Amino acid sequence: MRIVFMGTPDFAVASLNALVQSDHEIVCVVTATDKIGGRGRQTIITSAVKDRAVTLGIPVLQPDKLRDPAFLDTLQSLRADLFVVVAFRMLPQVVWSMPPRGTINLHGSLLPAYRGAAPIHWAVLNGEKETGVTIFFLQQEIDTGDLLHQERIPVRSDETTGSVYERMMYIGARALVRSLSMIESGRFKLFPQDEVDVSLAPKIFPETAELGFDWPIQKLVNWVRGMNPHPSAWFFLQDKILKVHAATSLHQIPDHPPGTLLLVGRELRIAAKDGWLIPKELQLEGRNRVSIQDFVNGMPLVSRSPGACGPLYPKEVNEVRDY
């Protein structure tokens, strides 16, 4: 089949590579426009998909507006059988309805669960034991089309969004190639999504990553996992943002109010609703990411003798004690 591939980030590159190695012809890639950034805003930043397409010698389109008549004319002239979308922007109907075999999308969840921009984040944040990938045909409403193919992925209790993302890239790429074979042969059955099972995965913002120490301890651990590697879970320590990149937990009811920070030997503990969060990697605002040992050794904010530390979370004065 003749295929137009649409995608932008590195997640989509694995799928592009898989399609290039298949029996199908990638006639064009559609991706985001170049941006200006870097120091002094003098660097042209291109998408990962564009970089790979250029290397492969595949023509690239970068429309500002997807309804632009010139762009639509060019798409039509390609005579593609199918459009394939992986981590791209929302398409207008005039685009997704264009090819005779329709437009399929690779989504990083088991739809109808986690419709939206951040399905991997929210699966980890919610402590799911399983997630997966879905190939579906696009319709007008986002992530609502009929299901073509799904594959399930277990999620370990110590996994982060980053580690699930890395595995899902390649599992999704293989699922996409299988789906194309199903479409080409005509041997497939579509399943409508059950609206009863819908859950949402809205975009993650930095403020979404703030930790609340009045939460249950498992939610705190999941938040640290789910916000790793970006945007990173955080809280305020003496009016500075302290990022928590990795943490474990101690399921022991604290006899201190939530947000209390204790130094127990070489271990930091932060009291939560029903346990202790034990950070393993931290990064104070304006400083590098460090292990907990280096943080304890080098940070004057953590006293080795009893005394007030200053605002922690919530913004109250909590005690830092040496035990």
Residues 60 and 191 in one domain: yes
Q: What is the mean pLDDT of residues 78-97?
A: 97
Residues 14 and 114 in one domain: yes
Buried b (16+ CB within 10 A) or exposed e, 19-41: bbebebebbbbbbbeeeeeeeee
Residues 137 and 254 in one domain: no
**Which one of 197, 227, 251 terminates a domain?**
197
With cut-offs at 50, 70 and 90, classify the pLDDT of residue 321.
very low
The predicted pLDDT at position 297 comes to 83
pLDDT of 3 strictly over 90: yes
Q: What is the mean pLDDT of residues 182-201?
A: 96
How far apart are the two ends of the chain, measured CA to CA in Å?
A: 67
User: Any idea of the CA torsion for 151, 156, 162, 163, to the nearest 10 degrees?
Assistant: -80
pLDDT of 62 strictly over 60: yes
pLDDT digits (tens, 9 = 90+) for 11-39: 999 999 999 999 999 999 999 999 987 77
Residues 36 and 75 in one domain: yes
Residues 243 and 185 in one domain: no
With cut-offs at 50, 70 and 90, classify the pLDDT of residue 258.
very high
Query: What whole-number percentage of the chain has pLDDT above 70?
Result: 92
Residues 233 and 161 in one domain: no
Rg (alpha carbons) of the chain, rounded to whole number: 24
With cut-offs at 50, 70 and 90, classify the pLDDT of residue 50.
very high
**Which one of 135, 168, 197 terminates a domain?**
197
Which CATH number belongs to the domain containing residue 232 in this structure? 3.10.25.10
Contact between 175 and 106 under an 8 Å Cβ cutoff? The reply is yes
Counting the structural domains of the chain, the total is 2
The predicted pLDDT at position 313 comes to 34
Minimum mean pLDDT range among 1-15, 39-53, 169-183, 235-249: 39-53
**Which one of 197, 221, 241 terminates a domain?**
197
The predicted pLDDT at position 6 comes to 98
Residues 281 and 313 in one domain: yes
Residues 71 and 176 in one domain: yes
Q: Which domain holds residue 65?
A: 2-197
Residues 41 and 109 in one domain: yes
The predicted pLDDT at position 316 comes to 36
Residues 210 and 191 in one domain: no
Q: What is the mean pLDDT of residues 35-52?
A: 87
Residues 12 and 60 in one domain: yes
Which CATH number belongs to the domain containing residue 184 in this structure? 3.40.50.170
The span from the CA of 294 to the CA of 314, in Å, is: 25
pLDDT of 149 strictly over 70: yes
Residues 192 and 229 in one domain: no
